[in-house]
A and B are shown apart, each in its own frame.
Chain A
Amino acid sequence: ETGVTQTPRHLVMGMTNKKSLKCEQHLGHNAMYWYKQSAKKPLELMFVYNFKEQTENNSVPSRFSPECPNSSHLFLHLHTLQPEDSALYLCASSQDTSGETITDTQYFGPGTRLTVL
Chain B
Amino acid sequence: SQKIEQNSEALNIQEGKTATLTCNYTNYSPAYLQWYRQDPGRGPVFLLLIRENEKEKRKERLKVTFDTTLKQSLFHITASQPADSATYLCALSAPGRRALTFGSGTRLQVQP
Contacts and interface: CB of A to CB of B under 8 A. Distances in A.
A17 to B, nearest CB: 23
Contacts of B103: 42
B20 interface: no
Interface string A47-87: 01010000110000000000000000000000000000000
A31 B93 CA distance: 15
B43 A110 contact: yes
A95 to B, nearest CB: 11
Contacts, number: 64
Contacts of B41: 88, 110-111, 113
B98 A108 contact: no
B99 A45 contact: yes
A40 B44 CA distance: 15
A55 B46 CA distance: 23
B79 interface: no
B92 to A, nearest CB: 11
Contacts of A98: none
What range describes how many residues of B lie at the interface?
20 to 34
A48 B39 CA distance: 24
A42 B105 contact: yes
Given A42-B102, A43-B102, A104 B93 contact: yes
Contacts of B24: none
A45 to B, nearest CB: 5
Interface string B70-112: 0000000000000000000100010001111111110000000
Contacts of A33: 99
Given A101-B32, A104-B98, 9 more contacts: A43-B102, A50-B98, A90-B43, A94-B98, A101-B51, A108-B43, A108-B45, A111-B42, A113-B41
19 contacts: A40-B9, A40-B104, A42-B4, A42-B89, A42-B102, A42-B103, A43-B44, A45-B101, A48-B99, A56-B98, A92-B43, A101-B31, A101-B51, A103-B49, A104-B93, A104-B98, A104-B99, A110-B41, A111-B42
